Amino acid sequence: MTDRTDVLIVGAGPTGLTLAVELARRGIAHRVVERAAAPSAGSKGKGLQPRTQEIFDDLGIIDRVLAGTTPYPPIRVRIGRLPVYQGRMHRPAAASDEVPYPMVRMHPQWRTEAVLRERLAELGGEVEHGVELTGFAQDAEGVTARLGTGATLRAGYLVAADGGRSTVRKALGVGFTGETREEERMALGDVRVEGLDREHIHAWVRPGRGMVALYPMAGTDCFQFMAPLRPGATPDLTSAGFQRLFAERSMLRSAHGVRITELLWSSLYRVNIRLADAYRAGRVLLAGDAAHVHSPAGGQGLNTGVQDAYNLGWKLARALTGGPASLLDTYEEERRPVAARVLGLSTDLHDRKSYKRDEETYQLQVGYRGGSLARAGGERVPDGPLRLADGSRARMFDLLRGPHFTLLSPDPAPRVPGGPEVRAYAPAEPYGGVRHTLVRPDGHVGIATDSAAELAGYLTLV
């Protein structure tokens, strides 16, 4: 017997989980399968950009996320015990009406995934751990997937969120253009440390030997250990190996009171800079690391994957509930150029070995202007107070929160057969200086126009 669902998501990292939450809150039947037997325990991607925090606000998890985060503390660099530099990666900023989450927040990836799994469970979904996709075939009507359990599953669409080594992408034969810098590797791990304060990122540089850094993970008693490896070096990812790397590069003796006491998780990281040649092949779509992999500089990878899912989720839901199937073509149209720009940014930061971050990495400037769904729009809608025609006041993000389209107009939402859910609000003054502003479910302007006919025409596209 073949089970059926609307969407099969392969991979339960931040991208797959965000997509599952997006589908679950729209009532779209889905399955999430994850080859690993249990959730990952590693800190991995640890920085949540301001735009990602806005997405988590919409998904109803921002309070839980912020409760376990801190802004990045100052970085303190030493040679041995001699301090040589102290500064911040991110310029401190206060929340404003337009940007309620102005700072990158440190949040270990395992906890980000845990919060998303919790939200998914609240919406009636779950992750099937220890279930591997062993093969699939697609036709004009859907995808037939074979699972490691022996079961066969029929889905309307399959989304590959299975990482940089995506088996789905490889099975499709989609190219992954770019480079793997085998000589640029890093020992990465989560460790417990004695003798260090948690108010700083601690880094040591030993000329001729290399660098080691310890990042205090917010809400835990652990540090993330990072140490670039010299070309040709054989990594020892055991507790003893991490202790040797630390002692060699920090030049601190045990008498100085700093000691790694426990290794909780470890990984060998290679710098990969790659972009999938296509994001869609029929009824199979790629998202997150399956579509793009980055250097760690700038903290762009996890965040770009979350935005992929945020863009794709509402489009899949519409395609499955009466919207045009061609809507899914706009996923690659909008998201692949973003990934290409972000890859260039993170690679440049990596090559320059720059620790500084600014608005360019916060992803608040990401937009889709000029695309087929954003001919007169595309930009992110900022938060802020809004006075309505009936005299009441509201905050923009409160109006946008949820899976609907939002219309800011003195006129009621036009009725379009089979069209999406639109919630209309009449501002006291024209928003943005035009009569009708339609905001997509992902918080970007779909169309801004004075023409009711143009507005109605746009709604036939979505």
Predicted TM-score of the model (pTM): 0.95
Q: Please give the average per-residue pLDDT across 161-185, as a whole number.
A: 90
Nearest Cα to 51, choosing from 310, 264, 236, 243? 310
User: How far is 111 from 96, CA to CA, in rounded Å?
Assistant: 27
Determine the pLDDT at residue 347: 56
Q: Please give the average per-residue pLDDT across 350-374, as a whole number.
A: 70
> What is the pLDDT confidence band of residue 294, given thresholds at 50, 70 and 90?
confident
pLDDT of residue 351 exceeding 70: no
Q: Is the dihedral of CA 234, 213, 271, 166 positive or negative?
A: positive
pLDDT of residue 255 exceeding 60: no
Going by the DSSP 8-state scheme, the letter that residue 453 receives in this structure is: H
Cβ neighbours around 137 below 10 Å, total: 10
Comparing 21-25, 120-124, 131-135, 353-357, the range with the smallest average pLDDT is: 353-357
Identify the helix (H) or strand (E) that includes residue 128: strand 127-129
Determine the pLDDT at residue 35: 97
Cβ–Cβ < 8 Å for 159, 288? no
pLDDT of residue 249 exceeding 90: yes
3-state secondary structure of 319: helix
- What is the per-residue DSSP string for 15-83? HHHHHHHHHHTTT--EEEEESSSS------S-EE-HHHHHHHHHTT-HHHHHHT-EEPPPEEEEETTEE
Determine the pLDDT at residue 181: 75
pLDDT of residue 297 exceeding 80: no
Determine the pLDDT at residue 256: 67
Q: Please give the average per-residue pLDDT across 154-165, as a whole number.
A: 97
